[in-house]
Homo-oligomer: A and B are copies of this chain.
Amino acid sequence: MTATIIDGKGFAAGLRERIAGHVAGLKSQHGITPGLAVVIVGEDPASQVYVASKARLTAEVGMHSVKHELPRETSQAALLQLIDELNRDDAIHGILVQMPVPDQIDPNAVINAISPEKDVDCFTPANVGKLAIGLPGPVSCTPLGCLMLLRDQLGELSGKEAVIIGRSNLVGKPLAQLLLRDNCTVTMAHSRTADLASVVKRADIVVAAAGRPNMVKGDWLKPGATVIDVGINRVPAPERGEGKTRLVGDVEFDSAADVAGAITPVPGGVGPMTIACLLANTITTASLLNGLVPPKDLTP
């Protein structure tokens, strides 16, 4: 193995420390305590773990953390009413509704109900558009985390060839906007790309966000490339015992680490950055809602 392992977990911890500093500053200088409300409908165990972790880290950086746990059978009307209350609550600067929601609720109706000014996930069309145009606002959390890791690893990104695999609204598309803003030449590749291996071969920066375990092989990479693995896939791990599983990314780590210059591990790479950037976005929206300029180190 030759690649530097990019320590997303460590970077995220440092980012949360800086966020705690900004929270303290907002409190002491402006009397503002940034508040994040997390809403979860139903008892999906994975979502519950994730939401509990968000709430804990929110409180840890000194923010006001509110958690709303609604029963599985909650109606869409009831959920929209709660969102409306949170939209009007001056103590709340960020609203996150944990997806997926149960079948009786239309996720688009939920997204459209959240005030764009409090949309810390950057789900609403208005915020997606602002990101594309380059106007200030919250930025999709995982892409913002990828950008921070890339800048930390490479410094200047201008002129680099970046290939993003996967064109989701949550990761691939907004990340393309961010890397373009940093003057990368950006290629968006996906399941219909004719010869993915040769497209990846030309990249100085590879971001894998396709949701396919171990898809990107080491011999696809340009030697020295920086690899950001957004995938989090649970696969069977019989070597750990019957019925056991483990997490792998979209990149075949061992073969990639022999060719890449730097690579994020899974877990411990991009994952911890996503929650940290959710907190960063809450500082951004709390600043904008109060007519302040958001801290430069938390925004693209």
CB-nearest residue of chain B to A191: B183
On whether the beta carbons of B194 and A185 are closer than 8 Å, the reply is yes
User: Quick one: copies of this chain in the complex?
Assistant: 2
Q: Are A185 and B180 in contact (CB under 8 A)?
A: no
Docked complex Cα distance between A139 and B161 (Å): 28
Smallest CB–CB gap between A136 and chain B, Å?
A: 11
Residue of B nearest to A161 (CB): B194
Q: Closest residue to A128 on the B side, CB-wise?
A: B129
- In the complex the two chains form, is A133's CB within 8 Å of B176's CB? no
Judging by beta carbons under 8 Å apart, are B135 and A192 in contact? no
B188 touches A185 (CB 8 A): yes
Which residues of chain B are within 8 angstroms of A167 by Cβ–Cβ distance?
180
Instruction: Indicate if the CB atoms of B190 and A187 lie closer than 8 Å.
Output: no
Do residues B176 and A185 form an inter-chain contact, with CB atoms below 8 A?
Answer: no
> Which residues from B are CB-within-8-Å of A125?
125-130, 132-133, 135
Does the CB pair B176–A183 fall under 8 Å?
no
CA distance A126 to B129 in the complex (A): 6
Interface string of A171-204 (1 = CB under 8 A from B): 0010011001001011111101110000100000
Instruction: Check if A4 is an interface residue, CB within 8 A of chain B.
Output: no
Instruction: Please give the distance in Å from A264's CB to the nearest CB on chain B.
Output: 23
Contact check, B173 vs A199: say whether CB atoms are below 8 A apart.
Answer: no
Structural contact, B194 and A159, CB atoms closer than 8 A: yes
A183's partner among B127, B173, B190 (CB-CB below 8 A) is B190
Cα distance A183–B167 in the bound complex, in angstroms: 10
How far is B137's CA from A223's CA once the two chains are assembled, in angstroms? Answer: 43
Chain A 89-130 near chain B by CB (<8 Å), digits 1 or 0: 000000000000000000000000000000000001111111
Q: Is the CB of B185 within 8 A of A190?
A: yes
What are the interface flags for A141-168 relative to B under an 8 Å C-beta threshold, 1 for contact and 0 otherwise? 0000000000000000011110000010
User: Max chain B CB contacts within 10 Å: which of A124, A173, A177, A187?
Assistant: A187
21 residue pairs of the A-B complex, CB under 8 angstroms, read A125-B125, A125-B126, A125-B128, A125-B135, A129-B129, A129-B130, A132-B132, A132-B169, A133-B169, A158-B192, A159-B193, A161-B194, A167-B180, A173-B180, A176-B176, A176-B188, A180-B190, A183-B192, A185-B188, A186-B187, A186-B188
